[in-house]
Amino acid sequence: MRLQKFLAEAGLASRRASEQIILDGRVSINGTVVTELGVRVDPVHDEVAVDGTTIKPKRKLYLALNKPKGYICSRQDPSRRRCIHDLLPKEWRNLFTVGRLDFDSEGLIFLTNDGEFSLRLTHPRFGIPKKYLVGVAGRVEPVMLAPILRGVRHEGQRLKAGKARLLKANNSHSLVELELTEGKNREVRRLFETQGLTVDWLRRLQIGPIRLGELPSGRWRVLSHVEVKSLLSPTTHGKPPCHSEAD
């Protein structure tokens, strides 16, 4: 398989981060430093090292966690805010998050040591849908959702919801269900900002076919083999996957 895929599957980093590690000259195969992308490696017979340390494939882990509000998705924070890795068993704190939820958001997030899995769920070209429940200050009128569905410009980026449904609205508070297929930074909040609306709270309910369900806040569970397979299935994604990185 390609070297960057091997590193990702070994849990070193995501595939894109692994590519940069290769380009930085930190990787060797059988003692020879490699700096070109696309080099292939035999996981059984070749010895791959990063910064002189041999890399071995790891058992792949896939967790679903109900992130509470007031936690960050990084492993550590200079401001000493709470990290979601603090919610995991100590031996699993090397897992990385699949995408992010910001400090004030809550709900479903995956953690893994499988870089390929992370790429398939986060890269825009795969278009995996993510469903959110959004509490908005003030009254949301149905007409306000139309631009969000058509697509809007904000800070030089085009933002767009795949689906938007107004569940409840009064003069003080509204409830909207939103579905996105991309993962731009703070995309849900920014979409509503373009309509002069402020998001009070935000909860991610679903990623692909996997629902948050009754998982309590701050708790995690291991995804089953069937669930992982369903997330990687082409039918889960909004558009067909690119095969340029195939084995």
- Tell me, what CATH number does 223's domain have? 3.30.70.580
Alpha-carbon gap, residue 1 to 99, rounded angstroms: 25
Same domain as 179, residue 115: no
Please indicate, yes or no, if residue 108 is contained in any of the structural domains.
yes
| 76, 102: one domain | yes
**Cα torsion for 137, 139, 144, 149, to the nearest 10°?**
60
Specify if 80 maps to a domain: yes
The answer on 232 and 183 residing in a single domain is no
Judged by DSSP in three states, 179 sits in strand
Count CB-CB contacts under 10 A for residue 191. 27
Number of structural domains found in the chain: 3
Say if residue 78 is in the same domain as residue 100: yes
Same-domain pairing of 7 and 115: no
Q: What is the pLDDT of residue 244?
A: 30
Q: Which residues are catalytic?
A: 102
130-174 per-position pLDDT tens digit: 999 999 999 999 999 999 999 999 988 899 999 999 999 999 999
Q: How confident is the model at residue 241 (pLDDT cuts 50, 70, 90)?
A: very low
- Domain span holding position 43: 3-54
**Same domain, residue pair 33 and 99:** no
Q: What pLDDT shows up at residue 240?
A: 40
Q: Strand 199-207 relative to strand 106-112: parallel, antiparallel, unpaired?
A: parallel
Considering the domain architecture, whether residues 148 and 195 belong to the same structural domain is answered as yes
Among the listed ranges 8-12, 137-141, 199-203, which one has the minimum average pLDDT value?
A: 8-12
- 177 & 189 share domain: yes
Segment 51-71 mean pLDDT: 91
Residues 66 and 186 both lie in one domain: no
Which residue in the block uniquely carries the two structure tokens 């996981």?
43
pTM of the model: 0.75
Cβ atoms 189, 199 nearer than 8 A: yes
The string of DSSP codes covering 188-217 is HHHHHHTTT--EEEEEEEEETTEE-TTPPT
243 CB neighbour count, 10 Å cutoff: 6
Residues 120 and 147 in one domain: no
